[in-house]
Structure 1
């Protein structure tokens, strides 16, 4: 009779473990689903278009506010406005390419001034 009791206890532990293992992903899925529903209902005027991580606590963020896109730098201690763009439905990469082109032409102008 003790063998039956021990086997029953082992099965109870195994079933409980399977339940806990299945319960965790189910809870995560529900949290993600409710969070997405809140985002749809909450329709904020501020949208994070894209985020590019630069390090452990540093990020570049492209944020859209009232039809204008802002490129901001975010660190653990500060947020800095880097640039404003009109909203033309450009991708983050296209915006960064545009900034690179402008910085390149600005540096060429500065080099030409220095050479004169």
Structure 2
């Protein structure tokens, strides 16, 4: 008779353990969903477009605020505004491509006349 009570108490422990193990991921999932809902309600008008690390505590950040892009320098002690860009400014890479095309066109024209 005692074997039955030992077996039933072992099953109770196993079922309780399974419940606890299943309960933890469910709670984490609920917390994640709640945080996502909070972020949607409090959406900010500030967007981080790109971050370039310059050292352990120094960064260049391109942020967008109300359609305007700002290049800022961030250190552990300060934040410095470096440059503002028009709302629909070209990307740095596209500007460099245009300059490169102009330079190659100039080089070809000067090379042909020599």
Q: Quote the Cα distance in structure 2 between the aligned partners of 1:54 and 1:11.
A: 58
Q: Quote the Cα distance in structure 2 between the aligned partners of 1:14 and 1:45.
A: 50
TM-score by length of 1: 0.55
* Number of aligned residues: 98
Quote the residue 1:5 is aligned against. 5
Q: Quote the Cα distance in structure 1 between the aligned partners of 2:54 and 2:16.
A: 43
Q: Quote the Cα distance in structure 1 between the aligned partners of 2:89 and 2:57.
A: 27
Quote the residue 1:40 is aligned against. 40
Q: Quote the Cα distance in structure 2 between the aligned partners of 1:65 and 1:78.
A: 22
Deviation at 1:62, TM superposition (A): 4.0
Deviation at 1:44, TM superposition (A): 1.9
Mark the runs of 5 or more structure 2 residues left unpaired by the alignment: 101-114
Quote the residue 1:108 is aligned against. none
Deviation at 1:43, TM superposition (A): 2.3
Distance 1:58 1:11, change over 3 A: farther
TM-score by length of 2: 0.55
How large is the RMSD of aligned CA atoms in angstroms? 3.8
Preserved CA contact (<8 Å) 1:72 1:79: no
Secondary structure of 2:44 counterpart = coil
Mark the runs of 5 or more structure 1 residues left unpaired by the alignment: 106-116
List per-residue Cα deviations over 1:54-96 (Å, max 9, x = no partner): 8887766543212123344556x34544554444498xxx66x
